[in-house]
Amino acid sequence: KAGVTQTPRYLIKTRGQQVTLSCSPISGHRSVSWYQQTPGQGLQFLFEYFSETQRNKGNFPGRFSGRQFSNSRSEMNVSTLELGDSALYLCASRKTSGGHYEQYFGPGTRLTVT
């Protein structure tokens, strides 16, 4: 079974631009969560999507947004990029049936803002 895939793996953007990151969950997983990882703040929860609806949201500004499609694939968007947005963005999927709570993480997208 293929794992969680994220594209692109690396990205360099300039301050003020916007960026869209993509995540394909494991087949059959309907919940997708996004996390930001930085050396200073560690791993922080951004948001979770299930059945195309945002279920939870972390403490991030409105510049960070996301969506989920009917095939469970998810995208996150960051507008008006700031230098502090440089981070590893991780996507995780979860099988929601049968009481499964373990999340499966992708390799991440490393975003560098210059």
Q: Which two tokens stand for residue 82?
A: 């700031």
According to CB under 8 A, which one of 21, 26, 29, 33 is a site residue for other proteins?
33
Write b or e for each residue in 62-83: b if 16 or more Cβ atoms lie within 10 A of its Cβ, otherwise e: eebbbebeeebbbbbebeebee
Beta bridge partners of 104: 93
Using DSSP's 3-state secondary structure scheme, residue 113 falls into strand
Residue 84 lies near other proteins (rule: CB under 8 A):
no
Q: Please report how close the Cβ of residue 81 comes to other proteins at its closest, in angstroms.
A: 22
When asked if residue 66 is in the footprint of other proteins (CB under 8 A), the reply is no
**Number of chain residues interacting with other proteins (CB under 8 A):** 23
Binding positions for other proteins, rule: CB under 8 A? 4, 31, 33, 35, 42-45, 48, 55-56, 58, 90, 92, 94, 101-108
